[in-house]
Amino acid sequence: MGIKKIGCIIVLLLLATSGYAVDLHVLADSLDNWADFKLGCIPKVRVTQLKTKDNEIWLYTNKTLSCLSLSPNDISSLRAKVSQWVTGKDTEHVTIYSDGFELDELVTERFRSRPEEEHYPIPNRRELGCNLHGQHIALWPSHGIYYNRDEDRWKLQRATMWSTVEDLYTTSYAEQVSQMLERAGATVHWPRARYGKDEKASEIGPSGYPRWAEGARYWLEYIGVSDSIWNPVTDKSNPAKDSVRNDYLDDLRCRGHWVNWLKTKGIPVTLSIALHTDGYSQVGDSLTIGTLAIYSINDYYKMRTFPNNRSRILNRDLADYVQTQVVEDIRATHDPNWKRRELQNAGYAEARYTQVPSVLLEILSHKQFADIRLGLEPQFRHDVARAIYKGIGRWIHSQVGTDFVVQPLKVQKMSISPDMELTWLPTIDPIEPSAKPTYYLVEVRENDGPWKVVERTTKTHYNLPAKQGVRYDVRVIAGNDGGTSATSETLSAHIGKPNKPSVLIINAFNLTSGPRWWAETQKAGIVPNSYSIPDGEDGIYIGQQWEFNRTLDWVSDDDCGWGMSYRDQTGTRQVGNTHDYPVLHGHALQELGYTFVSVNSEAIDTIDARWDALDIIFGKDTITSFPELTRWQGKTLVSGALLGTIPRASRTGQVRSRDHNFRFAVTPNPQYLCAENATGQVAKPSERVLARYADSGVPACIKTNNSVIWSVPLESFEDFSSLYKQSIQLLLRSK
């Protein structure tokens, strides 16, 4: 008879002699149902021991209950239920232990304020207003390309699935969180190369890929950090020891050691956060896995206090703040059924080695199709990044007892009027009352000079200068006591030469999106030749999915089954919607000496007859109707991938006109908008075909009486300037 079975019999006999008899499995099921109903926890509850004496009950379980974020009311309710399940009454005194902790010990700061002497002493506290001024935060995306000695090759640390890989996918979150923290006044430190902040991040590293795609180990070595940090466990007397995955383990371990090293260099790091995704999966497209947060009570030396003698239970508080914010924000904005997974105490190196409060966040499952369908959407990643920034801010301010103000969202509905007045509107954050802007910074660039802040105002308008021959590019930043927003889209205006045409540029390209996907009974995945439209740019795309068979499960990272993707684009940046196309068009119009102003399509009220032509930029956005355009009878240049009726009219991106050949981007790249689904047009007898796709022969551009219509985004062409000038001049010359 097994030891476990003997133990259960003994417990049952003890219960019988005390007057109570309960099946521990039934009790465990009841606890599990309660935990699942309460917070959607995934691991099963197991009862390891039950003791009763007089009116006292002591219940010991595995770690599952400790993985829940429980309020005092939750614990009181659970005690009453346990009393009822065990004795038939809810009046007994019940003490519940999970993972060696009494549940009251695990109530976090979010539910019950700790005494001031138990708070973490926040560095530079005097600089901290309602924002994050003076805070130094260590942050990094997961993993990265590393050298595998056993296989003698450089490789990604995780499986390539759904056109991305965790090693690079998490950089999108890390970059956005960093920017938000910095706009709140914090200084952010990365152990990996940070693209667009580290000057050498885009250069090729030892792996043959850009340094920003490599693991932290190689970046720390490159910038001169001591090898005791990036190679912390090498046995100098036995070089063969741990050689199979040495670089892999170094990369994980070095990050925590690096945080501690920063402190020895006088950098007062407040906290650290590692951003990951994991490979947990369940059957079913519609089921999401959700967000897991990991912290460590014990440090590298098995101590439960920080060097300043404050308890490492503060790690749990931090993890709870961040996880809660992420889950609540996703439920409010994207998926009301998004799951909160464990708040887990585990000895992961990135959580255990650091001598400051730290959390390792598993944002979603990169193996679960339902998760990644959301995760490939730029707006989802932005909202999650904003939630992480808010969770960090709220934990920091909970330690000092002050209010945290959330920075505003970027402004919207921007417009430059014919008399050079710039107007805009704030964007109200429906889930953050404190995120209202209280002022705005207007930034202006003359021609191709530097950006300068020309105005700080509480108004939502600004009069631009009107000097002839000067192109004014303009953008707006919203601000409040919590920090500043991301910069707005960029508009442009120019007063041209006398007797030259005037053009109104309408930016109707506001879309960002993930790739298209499809789902059938046997097969599902990312639609081939369908690419995302990043917000600005990112580096998460590694290649097309090529395995669509649902029945194939993960075997290894090289044979990961359903979702498996090519990796030929690993390390390549992908430009998406840069939100500055009026500048691109305006630059060409300036060279022609034309007058122009620009406006976002969402801000159009009227279009009057003073303009010689309209230039409407659809990009890859859907074609929306503007009531104002129905009254417009003048000339129009319009371009966009969805303006035609024949789908995917070109595979090569080659266009031929009578006198010229042009090429546009049909795959993701770091320079031009990818137009993989440029459509073709059908010309009426009265219309003139100006250009055709070289491979299909289908019209790519036609001219009507008053319009020139390109069914491919002009912004996708390598030779945009000459093509645009030809198009606008042809339009304006016609009668």
Domain 3-106 falls in which CATH fold? GMP Synthetase; Chain A, domain 3 (3.30.300)
Give the residue among 324, 404, 392 at the shortest CA–CA distance from 356.
392
CA 716 to CA 722: how far, in whole Å?
A: 13
pLDDT of residue 38: 62
pLDDT of residue 11: 42
Q: Is the pTM of the predicted complex or chain greater than 0.85?
A: yes
CA 119 to CA 626: how far, in whole Å?
A: 56
Domain boundaries in the chain? 3-106, 123-400
Helix, strand or coil, per DSSP, at residue 735: coil
pLDDT of residue 12: 41
List of long-range contacts for 521-524, beta carbons under 8 Å, 24+ apart: 521/550, 522/549, 522/550, 522/551, 523/548, 523/549, 523/550, 524/285, 524/369, 524/548, 524/550, 524/562
Q: What is the mean pLDDT of each run of 10 residues along the chain (735 residues)?
A: 43 44 85 76 85 92 94 94 90 92 96 93 95 98 94 95 97 98 98 92 96 97 94 60 69 95 97 96 84 96 95 97 98 95 94 97 96 97 98 98 97 96 97 97 97 98 95 98 98 95 97 95 94 97 96 92 96 97 98 97 87 96 77 91 94 92 96 96 94 97 95 97 96 81
Q: Which amino acid is at 709?
A: I
**Looking at domain 123-400, which CATH architecture does it have?**
3-Layer(aba) Sandwich (3.40)
pLDDT of residue 629: 73
pLDDT of residue 3: 46
pLDDT of residue 13: 42
CA 522, 528, 532 angle in degrees (round to 5)?
120
Q: Are 674 and 689 in contact (CB under 8 A)?
A: no
pLDDT of residue 239: 54
CA 177 to CA 380: how far, in whole Å?
A: 13
pLDDT of residue 241: 54
**Which residues have CB under 8 Å from 325's CB, separation 6+?**
387, 388, 390, 391, 394
Q: Which amino acid is at 261?
A: W
HSE toward the beta carbon, residue 92, CA cutoff 13 A? 24
